[in-house]
Amino acid sequence: MAQERVIPVPTPETRHFWDGTTKNELRLQRCTSCEQAYFPPRPFCPNCSSREVEVFTASGRGRIHTFIISRFRSPGFETPYSLAVVELEEGPRMMTNIVGVPQSTDHIEMEMPVEAVFEPVNDEVSLVKFKPAEGKTDAE
């Protein structure tokens, strides 16, 4: 039985993010009052509730904050597959898959530097996945 992956459907508050993905841009929001960057998208700051927020394009770099290697089947996924939370350079975290490497703990590690890659799904959205960062990353 064919089961399909879920395709994200943009909503008014998330449109800027998904538009960005189709242009290979990882867009986050930042509060102009308290300077905190945040994700997921929302029209007011999760830190201080200010509505004065702006969209900006992030570097796409981050580190693996936590992950599993799932052998629990999900529609449209072949197991095993990685499921990770990446902490972006700018602070916010997001869920993703780690790609470009075998899906095992031999190749995926905690705090591994990664960078965003965009996987087209349709005209409206590309998924944001992460691969091991190439070359040196900024010293932390």
Interacting residues toward another protein by CB under 8 A:
5-11, 14, 40, 65-72, 74-77, 80-81, 83, 85, 93-97, 105, 110-111, 121, 127, 129
- Residue 32 or 66 having the CB closest to another protein: 66
Distance CA 80, CA 77 (A): 8
Q: What is the DSSP letter of 135?
A: S
CB of 106 to another protein, least distance (A): 11
CB atoms within 10 A of CB 22: 15
Reduce the DSSP state of residue 140 to 3 states and report it: coil
CB of 1 to another protein, least distance (A): 16
CB of 91 to another protein, least distance (A): 12
Cis peptide before 40 (omega within 30 of 0): yes
CB of 68 to another protein, least distance (A): 4
- Residue 61 or 63 having the CB closest to another protein: 63
Distance CA 88, CA 56 (A): 13
Structure tokens at 63: 């580190």
CB of 133 to another protein, least distance (A): 19
> Is residue 67 within 8 Å of 98, Cβ to Cβ?
yes
Place of tokens 């509730």: 49
